[in-house]
Structure 1
Amino acid sequence: MQGYKTFMTKPKEVEQQRKWYVIDATDVPLGRLAACIAPILMGKHKPNYTPHVDTGDFVIVVNAANVKLTGKKGVQSVVYSYSGYKGGLKSTPYNVLLEKKPERLIERVVKGMLPRNKLKYHRKLKVYAGPDHPHEAQKPEALDI
């Protein structure tokens, strides 16, 4: 019987292959946006994906303030933060967070779609409320959703 070798990507090989992508979030539903970003951050769109190695690419999201919340998610969905003290639980609806800090809303939803492990995929996500970003030197490719 002939043995087959399974290919495993090594961490040193990945650093040279990373790409940068730009996604325009204007009028894109929040969940659909996060569902497209999460596999790119993990590297599942590449043939050399390895679960225990971070093979993902960087993602830049622009126009985060123009993302669309469908249905009643703006009022019903809530973000909780707890200070650790008695009576320190704060709840903020999605539509209020979208007005004040749209970057944090998208980061939070995408982070919820990523696995809870030590690879820290969310560090490769860059979110900006407006159309400008400081990553032109990396020559990002536009990605349509």
Structure 2
Amino acid sequence: MKTYLAPVNEIEKKWYVVDAENKVLGRLASEIASRLRGKHKPTFSPFMDNGDFIIVTNAEKVQLTGNKLDDKKYYRHTGYMGGIKEASAKELLVKHPTDLIAIAVKGMLPKNKLGRAQLKKLKVYAGANHPHSAQQPEVLDI
């Protein structure tokens, strides 16, 4: 018996809205990463992008358990010598709340062209509003 491989033009990509208010960051990110990859579909294959689009609202109200808000550090580099920058999760949540979810999801996707393409299907917004109402997204409970 041959394995069914969905043709690219037959892959149906839906839009979903996820409300991140009072959700734990890691549990939310793992479910979002799974949906972006398309692992919830019977036509999943690891080398094809057949996942859905995910819109995350209320990113500023996401929760972290334990002392992670103060203890968890995020690092980035400016590209210059000695240019490493460090920010705690609390600082990142105040300055760039959308980055907190995007970084968590990015770490759970493949580290290649496919993972970068799947990450582009993630839209994160700090508030409750988003500009994707024309796509008629469905509400996804996580």
Report what 1:61 is aligned to: 56
Q: Which runs of 5+ in 2 are unaligned?
A: none
How far did 1:85 drift?
1.6
Q: Aligned to 2:75, what secondary structure does the other structure show?
A: strand
User: 1:12 and 1:117 mapped to 2: Cα distance?
Assistant: 22
Look up the equivalent residue of 1:45 and give its one-letter code: H
How far did 1:70 drift?
0.9
Does structure 1 residue 43 correspond to structure 2 residue 29? no
How high is the sequence identity, in percent, across the aligned residues?
53
**Cα RMSD after superposing both structures:** 0.8
Q: Deviations over 1:45-64 (max 9, x none)?
A: 00111111100000000000
Look up the equivalent residue of 1:63 and give its one-letter code: N
TM score, norm. by length of structure 2 = 0.95
TM score, norm. by length of structure 1 = 0.93
The structure 1 residue matched to 2:134, chosen from 130, 137, 143, is 137
User: 2:135 and 2:81 mapped to 1: Cα distance?
Assistant: 46
User: 2:58 and 2:102 mapped to 1: Cα distance?
Assistant: 13
For these two proteins, the number of residue pairs brought into alignment is 140
Give the ranges of 4+ consecutive aligned residues of structure 1 lying more than 6 Å apart after TM superposition: none
Within-5 A mapping of 1:1-145: 4-14=1-11, 17-119=12-114, 120-145=117-142
User: 1:87 and 1:117 mapped to 2: Cα distance?
Assistant: 27
Look up the equivalent residue of 2:125 and give its one-letter code: Y
User: 1:141 and 1:111 mapped to 2: Cα distance?
Assistant: 23
How far did 1:108 drift?
0.5
User: 1:115 and 1:26 mapped to 2: Cα distance?
Assistant: 27
